[in-house]
Amino acid sequence: MKIAPFKLGDYVMAEVSAGKTKKVQKCLLENDGGILYVRPVKADGELSNRHFSVIPVGNKTYSDILKPVEE
């Protein structure tokens, strides 16, 4: 799995489900059983208990889905 320029444990910006909508949110990159997951960071800075799999579809790559965190 090529996720360069990111690596597991990095924080990235990724689109995640928020109820019926999706929003771009700061997330932690994780791996479980060879599947890449993003775990959102809540407003208070704690990690969410939820995580979402990241699977590029079609011509998309991880670089299209994951963006650097802008501080």
In the beta sheet, which residues pair with residue 28?
11, 39
Tens digits of residue pLDDT in 55-65: 999 998 888 89
Which tokens go with 61?
A: 């790559």
Tens digits of residue pLDDT in 1-46: 678 889 999 999 999 988 899 999 999 999 999 999 999 999 999 9
Percentage of the residues of the chain whose pLDDT score is greater than 90: 75
Tens digits of residue pLDDT in 4-15: 889 999 999 999
pLDDT at 64: 87
- CA–CA gap between residue 32 and residue 18 (Å, rounded): 22
- CA–CA gap between residue 11 and residue 71 (Å, rounded): 11
pLDDT at 15: 92
Whose tokens are 């993003």? That residue is 38
- CA–CA gap between residue 15 and residue 28 (Å, rounded): 12
